[in-house]
Amino acid sequence: MSENTDVWEVFIQSKNGLAHKHVGNVHATDKEMALQNARDLYTRRNEGSCIWVVKSEYIISSESEDGEAFFDPSNDKMYRHPTFYTMPDGAKNI
Amino acid sequence: MSNLLNYTLRIADNAIILGQRMSQWCSNGPTLEEDIAMVNISLDLFGQANGFYEYASSIDGNKSVDDFAFLRSEREYFNNLIVEQKNGHFGDTIVRNFLFDAYSVLFYNKLSESKDEILAALGAKSLKEAKYHLRHSSNWLIRLGDGTEESNIKVQKSLEDIWMYTGNLFEMDDIDNELLKSGIAVDNSSLINDWDKKVNEILDKAKLNKPEDCYMQTGSKKGLHTEHLGHLLSDMQFLQRAYPNAKW
Amino acid sequence: MNEQYFQKRIDREEKIEPKDWMPDDYRKHLIRQISQHAHSEVIGMQPEGNWISRAPSLRSKMILLAKVQDEAGHGLYLYSACETLGVSREYLVQQLQAGKAKYSSIFNYPTLSWADMGAVGWLVDGAAIVNQVSLQRTSYGPYSRGMVKICKEESFHQRQGYEIMATMASGTPEQKQMAQDALNRFWWPSIMMFGPQDSDSPRTGNAMKWKIKRQSNDELRQKFIDQTVGQAEVIGLTIPDPDLKWNEERGHYDFGEMDWDEFWSVVNGNGPCNIQRLEHHKKAHSEGKWVREAAKAYSKKQKSIETN
C-alpha cells in the first residue's frame, strides 16, 4: 500500500462574521481526521470558530499566465469602486 | 486530611497521571499530526490537574500545587488504576484512553452540578476538554478496530488486557458517600449504565467484542496501586527530590 | 527569456507562488532548504522531549510541552510549504531516514540536565529566531508565509528558556552551576547554527541572488551574538569565550575562533546523538506503520460503502 496520505487544505474562520482564510494543509486519511488534525494544528491559540477542510485535489486554481486576461479587465472599470464618484457636500448616508 | 481534600486529589491525580502518560508520546507518535494531538491532550490534562491542585492547595492552606504534584509518596496518590497503565503501543493507549474518557465525560458532567462551587466550575471547564478527548479516542478506536485484521487483533487484546481496571472507576467508598450526601461528590455507581451504552456503541462500530465480565482490580482509593505508578513517580519527582531547597 | 522575467520579478520583491515558472535550481534549492528546516523542527522535539517527564514543576512542564507541540506544528507548516513544490511529505521523510537529507546539527547534542532546557530555549531558539525573522522576507510565497506564522509563535520559546536560566542563575549554588554548565556546552554549537563563514559558503551566491536568503551567515551570527551577550550579563552567567569583547569601532562584539573541525565532524555523523536521533525517528515511524495502515484501510472501506 502506498504510504502517501491525502492532503487537505484548511480554511479557518477566526471569528463569527468573518470570511474563512486559507492557513495551510494537513494530512489525513478521512474527513473526520482531517478536521481533528486541522483543529489541533491551526487553532491552538484560539484562532478559530469554524474550520473547513477540502481535499487539495478539489481546489481549482487559475494559472498565473491567465493573470492578464482574468484579472486586468477589472482594473480599468473603476466605476465599480465607490471612490470613483464625487458626492455633493452635505449629502449623508451615501 | 479532610474528605473534601482527599476527593479533590483523586480527581487531580487522575489528570496528572494520565497527562504524564500522554506526554510520553511526544516525538513517538505514528504521525506528526498524532504527536500534536496527543501532546494537546496531555496539556489539557495537566491544565485540569493544575486547577484541581490549586483548589486542594487552598483547602489545605499550606501545601502548594507542586508540593501536591511532586512530593507525595506512592501510597498517597489516589488516581484510578486505569490511568497509570503503560502506554504500550498506540492501540493500548487508545483503548485505555477511550474507556477512561467515556467515564470522564459522564463524571465531569455530574461534577459540574456539584454543590461545591469550585468543583462545579472546574468540572464544567474540564467537561469541554473531556468531550474532545472522547471524540479523539472514539474515532481512533473505530479506525483501529475496523481497519486491518492486524489492527483489530491488536486492539481486541488491548481491551482484554485492561478490562479488569474498569470496575475501579465506578466504586464508591466512605468518602464518596459522605460527600454525596452533601451534594458535593458524584455518584460513580450511577454512571455505569451510560458508560456501558457508550462503550457498546463504539465497540460495535469498531467491530470489537466486549470482554467477558471478570474480577475487577481495586484499591486506588486507599493508595494501593499497580507497580507502574512507582516508576512513573520516581521519574516525575526526580528533580524536586534531588534538589529539596531549590525553586523552579 | 523565462529566467530573465523570473529575475525581474525577484528584483521587484514579488513573491513567487507554487504555480509560477521558476528555474529548476531554484525549486531544488528550496526543496532542500525547506525540508531540512522541517526535519530540524521534528528532530528538535527529541532533545527537549527528553526532559518533559522530569520537568520540576507543573507550570514548567506545561510550558515545555506547549513549546515542543509548537515545534511539531512548525514542522508541519514547513512540510506543507515544501509540498507545494511538487514533493510528497512521505518522500521527504524517506530522504531524512536514509541520511540523504540533513537537519540542524545542533540537535545532535544531548540534553544532559534540566538547565539544558533553558540553554536550548534561550540560545538555540534565539538563534533560530534571528534566522527566521530574516526569512520572513524570502522570495517564495508559501515559505515566507510559513515563516511569518512561525515567528509569531516563536518568541515565547526564547522567553521560556531565558526564564529557566534566570531562575536557576539566581537559585541555589547547584542550580547556578547547572545553568553555567549548560551555557558552556551550548554556546559554541549555537553560534555555529548560522552555518559556515561567508567565505566558506558555496551556495550563498544563488540563494542571495534569488532572495531565498536575505542576509549572510556572518551577518546573522553577529546579530545574534550582539543581542545575547547583554542577556547573559543581566542574569550573571559567563559566556565561555575569553575573546568576547565590545569593539567600539565596529559597533559589534568581537568573538573568538569557532572550532570548524568539531562542527564538520558533528555534521558528518560523529556527534553524540546523530545515530540516536535518526534511530528514534525510524522506530516511531515503523512502530506506527500498522496504525497508518489501519486508518487507510478504514477510509477505503468507507469510500466503497459511500459509492455503493
Q: Is residue A14 part of a domain?
A: yes
> Nearest CA to C79 among C142, C168, C162?
C142
Q: Is residue B17 part of a domain?
A: yes
> Nearest CA to B80 among B178, B186, B226?
B226
Cell numbers given for A89: 457636500
Q: Is residue A91 part of a domain?
A: no
Q: Is C80 on the interface with A (CB under 8 A)?
A: yes
pLDDT recorded at residue C204? 74
Q: Is residue B116 part of a domain?
A: yes
CB within 8 Å: B33 and A28: yes
pLDDT recorded at residue A2? 47
pLDDT recorded at residue A23? 87
List of chains touching B (3+ CB pairs within 8 A): A, C
CA angle C139, C144, C145 (to 5 degrees): 140
CB within 8 Å: B50 and C58: yes
CB within 8 Å: B239 and C295: no
Chain C residues closer than 8 Å to B54 by CB = none
Q: Is residue B148 part of a domain?
A: yes
The nearest CA of chain B is from the CA of C73 a distance in Å of 7
Q: Is residue B247 part of a domain?
A: no
Q: Is residue A15 part of a domain?
A: yes
The mean pLDDT of B184-202, rounded to a whole number, is 98
The mean pLDDT of B175-200, rounded to a whole number, is 98
The residue segments making up the domain with residue B61 are 3-208+217-242
Answer yes or no: are the C-beta atoms of B36 and A40 closer than 8 Å. Answer: yes
Chain A residues closer than 8 Å to C299 by CB = 29-30
The mean pLDDT of C119-132, rounded to a whole number, is 95
> Nearest CA to B160 among B211, B114, B204?
B211
Q: Is C146 on the interface with A (CB under 8 A)?
A: yes
Q: What is the mean pLDDT of chain C?
A: 94
The nearest CA of chain B is from the CA of C231 a distance in Å of 20
Answer yes or no: are the C-beta atoms of B174 and B193 closer than 8 Å. Answer: no
The nearest CA of chain C is from the CA of A82 a distance in Å of 29
Q: Is residue A45 part of a domain?
A: yes
Chain B residues closer than 8 Å to C172 by CB = 243, 245-246
CB within 8 Å: C19 and A61: yes
The nearest CA of chain B is from the CA of C140 a distance in Å of 24
Q: Is the pLDDT of residue C120 over 50?
A: yes
Among A19-23, A57-61, B234-238, which is the least confidently predicted range?
A57-61
- DSSP annotation of B81: G
Largest CA distance in chain B: 55
Chain C residues closer than 8 Å to A41 by CB = 73, 76
pTM: 0.92
The nearest CA of chain B is from the CA of C225 a distance in Å of 27
Q: Is B33 on the interface with C (CB under 8 A)?
A: yes
Q: Is residue A94 part of a domain?
A: no
Chain B residues closer than 8 Å to A32 by CB = 139
Q: Domain tally for chain B?
A: 1
Answer yes or no: are the C-beta atoms of B37 and B23 closer than 8 Å. Answer: no
List of chains touching C (3+ CB pairs within 8 A): A, B
Q: Is residue A24 part of a domain?
A: yes
Chain C residues closer than 8 Å to A63 by CB = 19
CB within 8 Å: C19 and A63: yes
ipTM of this predicted structure: 0.95
pLDDT recorded at residue C306? 77
Q: Is residue B90 part of a domain?
A: yes
Q: Is the pLDDT of residue B121 over 60?
A: yes
CB within 8 Å: B90 and C288: yes
Chain B residues closer than 8 Å to A41 by CB = 33, 36
Q: Is residue B102 part of a domain?
A: yes
Q: Is residue B42 part of a domain?
A: yes
The 10s digit of each residue's pLDDT in A49-71 is 799 999 988 888 776 555 555 55
User: Based on C-alpha coordinates, what's the Rg of chain A?
Assistant: 20
What is the layout of strands, in order, in the sheet containing A50-55? A21-27, A7-13, A50-55
The 10s digit of each residue's pLDDT in B31-51 is 999 999 999 999 999 999 999
CB within 8 Å: C54 and B236: yes
Q: Domain tally for chain A?
A: 1
Answer yes or no: are the C-beta atoms of B122 and B45 closer than 8 Å. Answer: no
pLDDT recorded at residue C15? 95
Residue A47: give its domain's CATH number: 3.10.20.520
Residue B231: give its domain's CATH number: 1.20.1260.10
The nearest CA of chain A is from the CA of B140 a distance in Å of 9
A-B CB pairs within 8 A amount to: 24
Q: Is residue A86 part of a domain?
A: no
Chain B residues closer than 8 Å to C76 by CB = 32-33, 36
Nearest-CA residue of chain C relative to B53?
A: C58
Q: Per-residue DSSP letters for chain C?
A: -HHHHHHHHHHTTPPB-TTS---HHHHHHHHHHHHHHHHHHHHTHHHHHTTTTT-SSHHHHHHHHHHHHHHHHHHHHHHHHHHTTT--HHHHHHHHHTT-S---GGGGS---STHHHHHIIIIIHHHHHHHHHHHTT-SBHHHHHHHHHHHHHHHHHHHHHHHHHHHHHTS-HHHHHHHHHHHHHHHHHHHGGG-S-GGG-TTHHHHHHTTS--S-HHHHHHHHHHHHHHHHHHHT---S-TT-EEETTTTEEE-----HHHHHHIIIIISTTHHHHHHHHHHHHHHTHHHHHHHHHHHHHHHHHHH-
CB within 8 Å: C75 and B32: yes
The 10s digit of each residue's pLDDT in C28-80 is 999 999 999 999 999 999 999 999 999 999 999 999 999 999 999 999 999 99
Cell numbers given for B229: 505508578
CB within 8 Å: C146 and A41: no
Q: Is residue B248 part of a domain?
A: no
The residue segments making up the domain with residue A36 are 2-80
- A14 vs B76, higher pLDDT: B76
Q: Which residues contact C32 (CB under 8 A, 6 or more apart)?
A: C101
B194-197, long-range: CB < 8 A, 24+ apart:
B194/B106, B195/B102, B195/B103, B195/B106, B195/B169, B195/B170
CB within 8 Å: B31 and A27: yes
Answer yes or no: are the C-beta atoms of B202 and B141 closer than 8 Å. Answer: yes
CB within 8 Å: C69 and A41: no
